[in-house]
Structure 1
Amino acid sequence: MNDLISHQLVKYLENRGVEHIFGLCGHTNIAVLTALECSSIKFVNVRHEQISAHMADGYARAKKETSVLLSHLGPGLTNAATGVANAALDSIPMVVIAGDVPSHYYGKHPHQEVNLHADASQYEIYRPFVKRAWRVERPDLFPEIIEKAFQLAESGNPGPVLVSVPMDIFSKEVDVSLFERLKHHTKSLQKPSIDDETARHIIQTLLDAKNPLFYVGGGIMLADAAEELRALVDHLEIPVAHSLMGKGAVSDDHPLTLGMTGFWGTKFINDQCKEADYIFALGTRFAEADSSSWESEYTFNFPPTKLIQIDIDPSEIGRNYPVEIGAVADLKQALTVLNRVAKEMVPNGLKNEALKQEIVRYRQEFKQSNQQYIQDNCYPMQPQRILEEVREVLPRDAYITTDVGWNKNGVGQQFPIYEAGTILTPGGYATMGFGAPAALGVKIAQPDRVVVSLVGDGGFGQNPALLATAAEENIPVVWVVMNNYAFGTIAGLQKAHYGTTLGTVFQRNGEAYSPDFASVAKAYGVEGIKIEAAEEFKPALEKAIASNKPFVIDVAMLNNPVPTAGHWNIMDIYSPDKKVHHVSL
């Protein structure tokens, strides 16, 4: 029996349990859209492909499943590229299915063909950042390719893959038995662990250490291993520092959580890492900002500190620092073994009351250092007050998305996260424009949880058309636009190092300028409030959450830099030997 590829693709996705597809139409993919009309799968329509890619990214993170993105060829695929690359650098599993030029017109330059260096070569655009890019050459190859695509996206270090499909192949028939045989193939692979000998070696090394420390990254969330991590932390009472992407792996109110390291880390946290004799790193790349540009004076000092490292990706073991014990394993599996072995070796666990009291004192001192900003009634508002009041209003299990700038850096440093995986931020690619659309994907994945997006005016202004999707689908996300009338972080850097703000602040006729984002929201059919005084903000946020509607809050904010105790080498590039950082504007 034969059937159209487009119909069989939709049935295949249904059988895999796919519930949503994100994307935008084009003449190359409408055969698939037509097949979706009677499907249980919901197609989420957008006005720009970057929006759909970030939505798919947020959805995959919150649902802990591979997301599916449907794209048109050429400009559709390149519009989505930034969002797919962001997912790639944060190891988010995603299958991108893109229409392509008709196979019988390769090289003739049909409408929107990419072929300057090779015929029908649009799929090569994605090669630098996806795990693999396929171009389907025949309809009978499609079933095998789509199965491989999901398996590769989900296995090892997860990430996006691309399946580029000539539009005529979507409309060709295929023997359905080629899809039927895929049902016999496993949809989940057994993941690698560590053996008991390696686990005993690691635990004994930690027991013998004087100042051991856990350093965790986003790999903990990707492996869904937060529960296992906390069990080991509780049993051995070893403190935990984290990267930006590792925030929330152990709750920020846990007595042994130190906080975020690096450029935006505090001196106390960075010193704890620098003075550790052993660091046990789990699921982290030791990224530049988290590691103070790998300069030993500030955060990590390997050697004399010695490193134990576990990661699912062998290329990360020892990439930036020498490793004494290295293991390639899934973190959930490895931590399960480590917990069992630790309980065998030290049945009653360890106690570290002195360090816990030191952490309590540090938190109190840090909180006190922010009180003048939190209690300030000035308007535009202090960013610290905005974060404080957002945390007061939100339930512990609410999801937060950030963009880049003060919201990302300030949240990483100052905003408590209580449940693993509830903070979504663009890490590796640090994409401006991620946070606002990603929140839509999160809310679709977790409809019963509160979702708030903390974004700057620069980031929200990237793709305000996301509000059309929010209105059409009635997706009740709350966007807090922390509006400093600038690309604020870059403006502070430029002013500090070069004495100008050209190209970084928004002005009209010499005066600070911003669109009225609350009015923009209303024009899209979304609720919006423009805050006029500091005391209005918290009640507005409470109202927005209670409304259970998509809601934009536009709040003016002072452009004060996030305090920095670490280091980032870009400062030395700008101003060699001058120790200059940011300034307020």
Structure 2
Amino acid sequence: MKEFVAHLLVKYLEDRGVEHIFGLCGHTNIAVLAALEKSSIKFVNTRHEQIAAHAADGYARARKKTGVVLSHLGPGLTNAATGVANAALDSVPMVVIAGDVPSHYYGKHPHQEVNLHADASQFEIYRPFVKRAWRVDRPDLFPEIIDKAFHLAESGRPGPVLVSVPMDIFSAQIDPRLFDRVKVNAQSYQKPSIDDATARKIVALLTSAKKPLLYVGGGILLADAAKELRDFVDHLGIPVAHSLMGKGALPDDHPLTLGMTGFWGTQYINDSCRGADYILALGTRFCEADCSSWEGVYTFNMPPTKLIHIDIDPAEIGRNYPVELGVIADLKQALSVLNRVARAMLPQPRCDERLVNEIAEYRRTFKAGNVAAESSTQFPMRPERILADVRAVLPRDALITTDVGWNKNGVGQQFPIYEPGSILTPGGFATMGFGAPAALGAKIACPDRVVVSLVGDGGFGQNPSVLATAAEQGTAVVWVIMNNLAFGTIAGLEKAHYGTTFGTVFQKDGKPYSPNFAAVAQAYGVDSIRIESAAQFKPALENAVRSGKPYVLDVIMENAPVPTTGHWNIMDIYSPGQKRTHVTV
């Protein structure tokens, strides 16, 4: 007895453990929606495909499972593209299943096809950023393709894949035994590790170094290797700096955590990296902002600093800095071996009390420099006060999402993260509009954890219809809109270098303007409050968290730049030879 492809797809997803699919309807995918109606899989119905992709991204990061997106063709697929590209650059596993034009209409340019230069090739749009894009040409090939899609998304360096399915193939009938064949395939594959000889060499190099340092990226979190990292650090007593994406891999209150490097890093952290004689880099691609545009006088100076780099992706090893030792391995596997070998070579843990005290003193000094802003009663609020109050209210394991701007840069620099994987931020693509829907996905993934989205008014304004989905699903995210009535970070850059804020601040009739986001939320059926004083914010946030419902706090804040001694060479492009920064006004 043959069955419809759409029904067999849903059964396959159920067997694979998929619990949620994020998406939006269209005439090409309604066969799948009809099959989902009686499924155990919950369909999260969004009002925009970018919301679906970002929510699936947040879900995948929080749940440590592959996110699944269901999209329509043409404008649906292009709407989702930004969110899928964001997941790609942050190495988040995702399977996008998209309806496509009917196969019997190839070459006729049917409704909503992207067809100006080629026929039946919408999947080509995604090629630059997905790990692979398939178009299904025959119904009997679909089972093998969808199984390959999940394996590829999850294997090696994780990332999104696209499966573009002509709508007539969803409605075709095939023998269920074609799916039975792929269901016996292992759902996950064993990951590569390192040998003992390599591990001994790495431990020997680090323990003989005068100033060794670990540099940690988001790959540690993707590999679920935070515990192994902490065990390694605790035994060898080596300090840890991190990229933006590596924040939280080692808790910010661990005595050997230095902090974030690069443009938004501090002088002490950057100097510590530059002064290291050996660096063991784990799961990082040495991004520009994290590395001060790779200029050796600021953050990393390799050589003479010698680099050991372990990553699952061979393309990242040696890309931006030459390595003395490059190792291709899964970080959880590699650190497990390194821990065993380190304990065999050095039975007793090492501890440099002088270094621990130095890091503690640096933290006290840095914190003291922010006290006035964190306790300021001014209104519009100081952004530091917003972050301090949020941290004081939330439990250690609360999930935080950020967007782009003060909320991301300030959180990376100033906001302590205590549980690995509890900060979700758009690193590689730096996508404005990520934070609000990513929080929706994170809360769906972890309903028992507090989820707060720290997002600017520019970012929240990208896709406010996320509130409709939250209201329908009863998803208790708290959105804190850090509202500076501007694309604030860019406004600061333009003011510093060109003496104007044209096109970056929101005005009406020459006066500052902002939508009343609290009123917008209420229109969607979501509880909200517009904060009118600094003293009002913290109790309002406590109430929002206690409510157990979706909640919006619209907080007007000063558009003050994130302070930093770091470097990014866009400053030299704007103002050559002037040593001007975004702080200079």
TM-score after normalising by structure 2: 1.00
Q: Aligned AA for 2:420?
A: A
Distance (whole Å) between structure 1 residues aligned to residue 52 and residue 184 of structure 2: 32
1:334 aligns with 2:334: yes
Give yes or no for the alignment of 1:102 onto 2:105: no
Distance (Å, rounded) in 2 between the aligned partners of 1:233 and 1:340: 13
Is this contact kept in 1: 2:277–2:306, CA < 8 A? yes
Secondary structure at the counterpart of residue 327 of structure 1: strand
Q: Is the 8 A contact 1:561 1:584 kept in 2?
A: no
1:40 maps to amino acid: S
Partner of 2:210: 210
The correspondence of residues 163-202 of structure 1 with structure 2, limited to 5 A, is 163-202=163-202
**Residue 128 of structure 2 aligns with which residue?**
128
Alignment of 1:238-277 (within 5 A): 238-277=238-277
CA distance in 2, matches of 1:434, 1:544: 21
2:68 aligned partner, one-letter code: V
Could you give the per-residue CA deviations for residues 442-464 of structure 1, whole angstroms, max 9, x where no partner exists?
00000000000000000000000
Name the counterpart of 2:532: 532
2:284 is equivalent to residue 287 of structure 1: no
CA contact (8 A) 1:373 1:385 kept: yes
Q: Measure the CA separation in 1 of the matches of 2:43 and 2:190.
A: 31
| Structure 2 CA distance for aligned equivalents of residues 528 and 503 of structure 1 | 29
Task: Determine if the alignment matches structure 1 residue 481 to structure 2 residue 463.
Answer: no
Q: CA deviation at 1:482?
A: 0.2
* Corresponding residue for residue 310 of structure 1: 310
Q: Which residue of 2 aligns with 1:138?
A: 138
Match of 1:112 in 2: 112
Structure 2 residue 7 is the aligned partner of structure 1 residue 4: no
Task: Give runs of aligned pairs for residues 335-374 of structure 1, distance below 5 A.
Answer: 335-374=335-374
Residue identity opposite 1:515 in structure 2: P
Measured in 1, the distance between the counterparts of 2:109 and 2:395 equals: 54
Q: Distance in 1 between matches of 2:524 and 2:172?
A: 39
- Give the equivalent residue in structure 2 for 1:572: 572
Query: Residues 518 and 552 of structure 1 are in contact (CA less than 8 Å); yes or no, is this contact kept in structure 2?
Result: yes
SS of equivalent to 2:60:
helix
- Tell me how far apart the structure 2 counterparts of residues 225 and 533 of structure 1 sit (CA, whole Å): 42
Query: Are the equivalent residues in 2 in contact too, given 1:560–1:584 (CA < 8 A)?
Result: no
Q: CA deviation at 1:184?
A: 1.4
Q: How far apart are 1:241 and its partner, in Å?
A: 0.2
Query: Distance in 1 between the 2:102 and 2:287 partners?
Result: 42
CA distance in 2, matches of 1:526, 1:118: 44
Give, in angstroms, the shift of residue 304 of structure 1: 0.7
1:390–1:538: 8 Å Cα contact kept in structure 2? yes
CA apart distance, 1:116: 1.8
Structure 1 residue 581, shift from structure 2 partner:
1.1
- Secondary structure, in 3 states, of the residue corresponding to 2:115? coil
Deviation at 1:584, TM superposition (A): 7.8
Q: Secondary structure at the match of 2:263?
A: coil
1:412-491 pair list within 5 angstroms: 412-491=412-491
Q: Secondary structure at the match of 1:538?
A: helix
Does the CA-based 8 Å contact 1:495-1:583 persist in structure 2? no
- The one-letter code sitting in structure 1 at the alignment partner of 2:182 is L
The match for 1:541 is 541
Q: Distance in 2 between matches of 1:416 and 1:522?
A: 32
Question: Could you tell me how far 1:59 is from its partner in structure 2?
Answer: 0.2
Aligned-pair RMSD on alpha carbons? 0.7
Residues 55-104 of structure 1 show CA distances to partners (whole Å, capped at 9, x for unaligned) of 00000000001111000000000000000000000000000000000000
CA distance in 2, matches of 1:511, 1:403: 26
Question: In the alignment, is the contact (CA less than 8 A) between 2:563 and 2:583 conserved in 1?
Answer: no
**Aligned mates of 2:583, 2:189 — CA distance in 1:** 50
CA distance in 1, matches of 2:139, 2:411: 48
Amino acid at match of 2:544: A
Displacement of 1:375 in angstroms is 1.6
Contact 1:86–1:431 under 8 Å retained in 2: yes
Bigger mean CA deviation after superposition, 106-115 or 418-427: 106-115
Say whether the 8 Å CA contact 1:559–1:584 is kept in structure 2.
Answer: no
Task: Give me the whole-angstrom Cα distance separating, in 2, the residues matched to 1:462 and 1:521.
Answer: 14
Cα displacement (A) at 1:112:
0.8
User: What letter matches 1:306 in structure 2?
Assistant: K
Amino acid at match of 1:310: I
Q: How many pairs were matched up?
A: 585
Task: State whether residues 481 and 555 of structure 1, in contact with CA within 8 Å, keep that contact through their aligned partners in structure 2.
Answer: yes
CA distance in structure 2 between the partners assigned to 1:169 and 1:375 by the alignment: 61
Task: Work out the CA distance in 1 between the residues paired with 2:183 and 2:458.
Answer: 46
Question: 1:295 & 1:250 partners in 2: Cα distance?
Answer: 26
How far residue 565 of structure 1 moved from its aligned partner, in angstroms, is 1.3
Asked if structure 1 preserves the Cα contact closer than 8 Å seen for 2:103 and 2:137, the reply is yes
Aligned to 2:376: 376
Aligned residue number for residue 31 of structure 1: 31
Kindly provide the CA deviation profile for residues 509-559 of structure 1, in whole angstroms up to 9, marking residues without a partner as x: 111000000000000000010000100000000000000000000001111
* Matched residue, 1:502: 502
1:323 paired residue number? 323
* Aligned match of 1:51: 51
Deviating more after overlay: 126-135 vs 556-565: 556-565
CA distance in 1, matches of 2:113, 2:376: 57
Q: Deviations over 1:379-438 (max 9, x none)?
A: 000000100010000000000000000000000000000000000000000000000000
Give the letter aligned to residue 134 of structure 1.
W
Name the CA distance, whole Å, in 1 between partners of 2:134 and 2:66: 18
> How far apart, CA to CA, are the structure 2 residues paired with 1:102 and 1:375?
61
CA displacement at 1:117 relative to structure 2: 1.9
Secondary structure of 1:263 counterpart = helix
Shift of 1:107: 1.1
- Cα distance, 1:113 vs. partner? 1.2
Counterpart secondary structure, 2:262:
coil
Deviation sequence 1:253-291 (CA, Å, 0-9, x none): 000000000000000000000000000000000000000
Runs of at least 5 residues in structure 1 that lack an aligned partner in the other structure: none
Give the residue type in structure 1 aligned to 2:571: M
Tell me, in whole angstroms, the C-alpha distance in 1 between the residues paired with 2:14 and 2:201. Answer: 45
Among the aligned pairs, what percent are the same residue? 76
Tell me what 1:67 maps to.
67
Separation (CA, whole Å) in 1 of partners of 2:183 and 2:567 = 52
* Aligned mates of 1:410, 1:290 — CA distance in 2: 14
For residues 507 and 247 of structure 2, what CA distance do their matches in structure 1 show? 35
Secondary structure at the counterpart of residue 141 of structure 1: helix
1:583 deviation in Å? 3.7
Taking structure 1 as the reference length, what is the TM-score of the superposition?
1.00
Residue in structure 1 matched with residue 299 of structure 2 by the alignment: 299
Equivalents in 2 of 1:37, 1:387: separation in Å? 42
Distance 2:348 2:413 in 1: 34
Runs of 4 or more off by more than 6 Å in structure 1?
none
